Amino acid sequence: MRTPLVMGNWKLNGTKESVTALVKALVQPANDNSKVEVAVCAPAIFIGMVEELAKGSALKYGSEDVDVHTSGAYTGENSPAMIKEFGCKYAIVGHSERRAYHNETDAVVAAKFKAAQDAGLIPVLCIGESLEQFEAGKSNEVCETQLKAVIDACGIAAFNNAVIAYEPIWAIGTGKTATPEIAQDVHANIRKLLAKYDADVASKVQILYGGSCNAKTAYDLFKQPDIDGGLVGGASLKAPDFTTIIESATKTL
């Protein structure tokens, strides 16, 4: 039985004031829903604040990205060790917005995955197809390519200590949530691919759904056998909505 994981991805949002209010409001739901793992991934500049605010609670946190380098002349970047030092458990890698706006290739994503893991962080590997690819029936093919790039570079055993997030690009921020059937189908295929390498890894890895996962759609998605929770953008910025999503995960148990 896999533990559900509900993770917020704040993206480029927040102020000191809103972050304080949001984390304070999430501590209780995270503590109350103890059979579910709850985390928020914050812009790097807010991670220290989240560390203080979440201290002693069940609320975990992570970064939205990580650099491949450990130190040196890489202006603007945050190393995995820096992120780890501030108590992060997770680091998102390969989000479609990073792939699209920062030209992150599968090779770069695999290197980030490895760098995060080497520093003791759990990488949350995002994969997913564009609308065009979805309409062409290529969802599984695209996910397999993106996933294989990381398996080839890091080995299947690396997924003993990683999370996968299936995030169809056409569903991100559009309000067009994938139907539970569509998402389940892709999740099952992801697990099938992993099982070809190692059945035990495949059965244990958490696979999250992301893309307009919200207070209304979360429960039906999380009920699916191969969906182990969600990576939530917009709806994670509103404490009541994110709380409902956390509770939806508990309800599936």
The residues of the shown chain that bind ligand PGA, judged by CB under 6 A, are 9, 167, 172-173, 210-213, 231-235
CB of 208 to ligand PGA, least distance (A): 9
Residue 69 annotated in active site: no
User: Does the annotation count 95 as an active-site position?
Assistant: yes
Q: Which residue is nearest to ligand PGA (CB)?
A: 233
Sequential DSSP letters for 20-33: HHHHHHHHHHHHH-
* Cα(151)–Cα(141) distance, integer angstroms: 15
The minimum distance between CB 16 and ligand PGA, in angstroms, equals 22
Pick the closer one to ligand PGA by CB: 97 or 106: 97
Q: What is the CA radius of gyration of the chain?
A: 17
**CB nearer ligand PGA, residue 127 or residue 235:** 235
Q: Which is nearer to ligand PGA, 13 or 250 (CB)?
A: 13
Please report the sign of the dihedral spanned by the C-alpha atoms of residue 104, residue 159, residue 42, residue 143: positive
Query: Which residues, 6 or more positions from 86, have their beta carbon under 8 angstroms from its beta carbon?
Result: 47, 48, 51
Active-site residue among 64, 97, 129, 167?
167
Smallest gap from residue 55 Cβ to ligand PGA (A): 25
Contact yes or no for 219/252 (Cβ under 8 A): yes
Catalytic positions, please? 95, 167
